[in-house]
Chains A and B, each alone.
Chain A
């Protein structure tokens, strides 16, 4: 009996300044295989379909249960996590390519550090006084917790940036993920105390106003985070904040405010 085989095409690139090329692999079909297990099979026998030895493709992975965000790539032209990409549900040959909107490192791995930098820009944290024992945090209604939990499942995977028409090599748009994180912290009883700082982080070049409202981010998000409503809310709030900042502009400079 001949073994059932699976054809996989992988976009390879040895480094940022090398030329990309496609390599085709043929691996034995396995029940319940996902893109990760296929990549593991190639590691154990790194030869292309025509039998030529090659290097094992490089890819990022960690949790393999869609909570760490590592293994994001384009699979059959769609950006998603490789771990939840079950082979039997995908058209073949499988086509694997790196994300296009981030600087390439090698093969299927890219540099997503801009996502973490964006979290700095919006001060995505609760500024606690210290880690010593200060008792419980503020009470919260279960409904607020439920919204915040949903927002907080963002794993910085980059799908929303990958599909966003506003993100490109020359644009500065911060992207949906960080905007939604600003909403998360502004929606927390303690976090709301410095909501203004986060909102200012969303103003100016690359800020929330650069969103072109294509709405692709929310469709691409593997966690179903309500990204477009986060953007709408932050848009409204930054407008209000900008107005407030303008009204009180003299006070903040230490001068006399309106009427003073």
Chain B
């Protein structure tokens, strides 16, 4: 049989992987729940990072590496981060050549703006719908390969699980046709999961409804290691909604937006009646250097403390002002038009003239499927090594938000589109080399392996169709979301995490009492959801358990009962007492959590490989932004 590759997921990471494979002349099958053009990547608003340094600021890939590693509190393996930041300018140029309508300077060059966690204008953008524009560019290139016969699309097909041979290697996938409910197995020499993040585990988040994380969760159940599950980013600025929380991109602050609350508790005056002297711009005051552009974990905790601890939320509610009304309307239209429209459409107030009311919301998962890398002594990734982006299952790869690799304990804004594209770029060649090295010996996937995987899933769905209990799966899903938001987001406490794990266990028991609600065989969305719900409960359990075990505060993972004492010097490194405490914490906790499936998740914490070498790319240091 001819070489064949499978990519699951048609967001930025998946499409880039497909392009790399097709460009090498390989045949690829791509699977996606939705037409790939409707993937979640369209949601990305603000932009994509790359140290192109067009503003005479002396920016460079090395500074980008440093900002990224520090932003993630040195929990990311360093060589992949270095590879990504060095590749970034080339990736932006590639997108430019593909026709992405990036904003331009008067000279006709690419324009760049500020984002969080850096002092440089490093973010290329296409209005405020950059993700949509990037995704379309890749979608177009993939369509071109489709017309050339190299790519076959399986849209409205849901990945259920991978096919494992007797040696434990991945030999293909089993998928469900969501329209006909037919289940089929597909053979491949290598498979890449590029299935995005798990925001829906938290019920309402800034994510698309399809971001259930269920593919990655199922891969974990089937033996892939899931890492750093406890690190979930809560974005500081979103509009709370009934169906989802809509993001107001960090680019609003990148373009000069300011966060404030009335100084006076319980001040019920309209915003325009509150004079400047009676407004508290708390981020600017507390972080004079980075101001409103401190990293997201920091901004979110500050907003929480101002609203929840000090009771200073706007009009006594869970809200602070995000104000861009001082910026000329024409500039807002050109640079932030997309999000200005979103606010106006959903809230009914024009943000060009009124401050927006926003609050933090679950946004992004730093954690994901564990993936390997191979680097040389200088910390440069070995080109095309089959180990790049490989999970612990031979032949199974992961790229994009569903991998754990690039952002450590906190992701910097505009680094995700980049990590998706970069990981896709290196996954394609890695898969090809894996196949070259292994498939000759292996030969075609044994028919009975494929058949038995298919039978497993057909049986599971036949069981689901018969579920006629009293529990509504969507209600369990909603309760799971509320529980996770309450116990496992901005502020975590061990007692609450313990109780949450008990409740997740109860939800798992209730799951078996579910009613499938629909026994039809045409687009039976609830049958698919019942299966996904189980996977989400399993992953929620891992998030809670790794979070419970990690007794420290780092990046997005914050436990008030385990925080370092405040340094007495401006630069924490100058305070010996602080440094002793910091070193002790790091000794114990600068480790990646690794979850292996069993009825009770098996968790270990393992030191970073890239810090075991003599000369790491960057020596970790205490993280501070004031």
Residues of chain A whose beta carbon lies under 8 Å from any beta carbon of chain B? 14-15, 30-34, 36-37, 40, 43-46, 55-56, 58, 60-70, 83-84, 86, 105-107, 109, 112-113, 116, 119-120, 123-128, 130-131, 133-137, 139-142, 145-146, 148-149, 152-153, 155-156, 185, 188, 190-191
Contacts of B55 in A (CB 8 A): none
Contacts of A68 in B (CB 8 A): 34, 37-40, 42-43, 208
Instruction: Please tell me if B133 contacts chain A, counting CB pairs below 8 Å.
Output: yes
Contacts of A58 in B (CB 8 A): 523, 525
* Count of chain A to chain B residue pairs whose CB atoms are closer than 8 Å in the complex: 193
Identify 24 residue pairs between A and B in the complex whose beta-carbon atoms are under 8 Å apart, listed by A's number. A34-B241, A34-B242, A34-B346, A37-B241, A45-B472, A55-B526, A56-B525, A61-B209, A63-B42, A64-B246, A70-B34, A70-B38, A83-B243, A86-B348, A107-B523, A120-B147, A125-B143, A134-B94, A137-B99, A142-B106, A149-B126, A153-B129, A155-B37, A191-B99
Give the contacting residue for A124; candidates B43, B143, B348, B472; CB below 8 A: B143
Give the contacting residue for A139; candidates B108, B209, B472, B478; CB below 8 A: B108
B520 contacts A55, C-beta separation under 8 Å: yes
A120 contacts B523, C-beta separation under 8 Å: no
A37 contacts B243, C-beta separation under 8 Å: yes
A30 contacts B242, C-beta separation under 8 Å: yes
| Known contacts A55-B526, A145-B101; A67 and B144 CB within 8 A of each other | no
Contacts of B90 in A (CB 8 A): 133
B518 contacts A141, C-beta separation under 8 Å: no
Q: Which residue of B lies closest to A84 (CB)?
A: B345
Contacts of A119 in B (CB 8 A): 140, 143
Assembly CA distance A56 to B516 (angstroms): 10
Assembly CA distance A15 to B126 (angstroms): 40
| Known contacts A46-B517, A84-B346, A142-B104; A149 and B133 CB within 8 A of each other | yes
Name A's interface SS.
loop
Q: Which residue of B lies closest to A62 (CB)?
A: B208
Q: Which residue of B lies closest to A44 (CB)?
A: B474
Instruction: Please tell me if B169 contacts chain A, counting CB pairs below 8 Å.
Output: no
B144 contacts A127, C-beta separation under 8 Å: yes
Give the contacting residue for B98; candidates A34, A56, A113, A126; CB below 8 A: A126
Looking at the assembled complex, report how far the CB atom of A183 sits from the nearest CB atom of chain B, in whole angstroms: 13
A148 contacts B101, C-beta separation under 8 Å: yes
A40 contacts B144, C-beta separation under 8 Å: no
Q: Which residue of A lies closest to B133 (CB)?
A: A152
Q: Which residue of B lies closest to A134 (CB)?
A: B97
Q: Using a Cβ–Cβ cut-off of 8 Å, how many residues does chain B contribute to the interface with A?
A: 70
B94 contacts A126, C-beta separation under 8 Å: no
| Known contacts A120-B146, A152-B136; A66 and B345 CB within 8 A of each other | yes
A131 contacts B19, C-beta separation under 8 Å: yes
A67 contacts B129, C-beta separation under 8 Å: yes
Instruction: Please tell me if B384 contacts chain A, counting CB pairs below 8 Å.
Output: no
Contacts of A185 in B (CB 8 A): 99
Q: In the complex, which of the residues A43, A69, A127, A135 has the most CB atoms of chain B within 10 Å of its own CB atom? A: A43
Contacts of A120 in B (CB 8 A): 143, 146-147
Assembly CA distance A185 to B102 (angstroms): 14
Assembly CA distance A58 to B523 (angstroms): 7
Contacts of B143 in A (CB 8 A): 116, 119-120, 124-125
Instruction: Please tell me if B606 contacts chain A, counting CB pairs below 8 Å.
Output: no
Looking at the assembled complex, report how far the CB atom of A155 sits from the nearest CB atom of chain B, in whole angstroms: 7
| Known contacts A62-B40, A84-B346; A32 and B103 CB within 8 A of each other | no
Which residues in chain B, 432-458, are within 8 Å of chain A measured between CB atoms? none
A63 contacts B526, C-beta separation under 8 Å: no
Contacts of A65 in B (CB 8 A): 43, 244, 246-247, 342, 346
Extra contacts besides A44-B472, A136-B109, A152-B136 (6): CB < 8 Å: A14-B522, A139-B108, A140-B108, A149-B126, A155-B37, A191-B99
Q: Which residue of A lies closest to B36 (CB)?
A: A116
